[in-house]
Structure 1
């Protein structure tokens, strides 16, 4: 067991442990965020609209990446249109389409709904506890 000279030193160690645990390639936190986002792509995007002007590729469902940040991770949809613009932003806010259709200017906020679900659910907390346990810090 590691010894600390102060509470601040112990807290800094726990914070570093937390950050490194969720930045691992096999992080349960990252997987939980992506899995929840995929559920919202299906329920908030794909299920509400069947495209008539293009063929759905389903790439939005599977094109996610995890990036390390100073305080943890950032999870993003990397899906881009033919001009390099974010498909997720178009869908989230309903703006930026190059054609008019039923969901032009009509948001389908799957990212916001993902955030809201994770804030109001024990899923993310449980995933974090599992990541911390793998790093050697067990909690109840």
Structure 2
């Protein structure tokens, strides 16, 4: 489709909503979850070896990561690891809310922010979007 005016541009962009949503749900979500897993390992697991409890590894598992399209062009990926009513992901990231004292109580381990920063620096999410659209026959220059 050749875009000659604003009306053509609007039609063209509306046709892209479904492929964009599909690329976000499949390609971008997977990439963001992979980066988040790496950042949980670096920011949380590699920092120390616990002595007061045994790790479950759930914070770094994809099962604890939820991705959701909030509209056709916006994806939210979050770590929803919880332990009953406690949001474990938030406790670890903020350092606040532990039920016991230990060397990292009160010390933020901001894996979510590290994930955002990694994506900003590498553009991995943009590359995933490009691949996802290309796989659907949409070639971008």
> What TM-score comes out, normalization by structure 2 length?
0.86
Maintained 8 Å contact 1:65/1:76: yes
The within-5 A match list for 1:91-130 is 91-130=92-131
What CA distance in whole angstroms lies between the structure 1 residues aligned with 2:33 and 2:22? 18
Residue 56 of structure 1 is matched in structure 2 by 55
Say which SS state the counterpart of residue 105 (structure 2) adopts: coil
Say which SS state the counterpart of residue 41 (structure 1) adopts: helix
Residue 69 of structure 1 is matched in structure 2 by 70
The within-5 A match list for 1:9-88 is 9-23=11-25, 27-62=26-61, 63-70=64-71, 71-81=73-83, 83-88=84-89
Alignment length (residue pairs): 136
Q: CA deviation at 1:136?
A: 2.0
More helix by share: 2
What CA distance in whole angstroms lies between the structure 1 residues aligned with 2:122 and 2:3? 34
What CA distance in whole angstroms lies between the structure 2 residues aligned with 1:86 and 1:66? 17
Maintained 8 Å contact 1:32/1:123: yes
> What TM-score comes out, normalization by structure 1 length?
0.86
User: What are structure 1's unaligned runs of at least 5 residues?
Assistant: none
Tell me whether 72-81 or 8-17 shows the greater mean CA deviation.
8-17
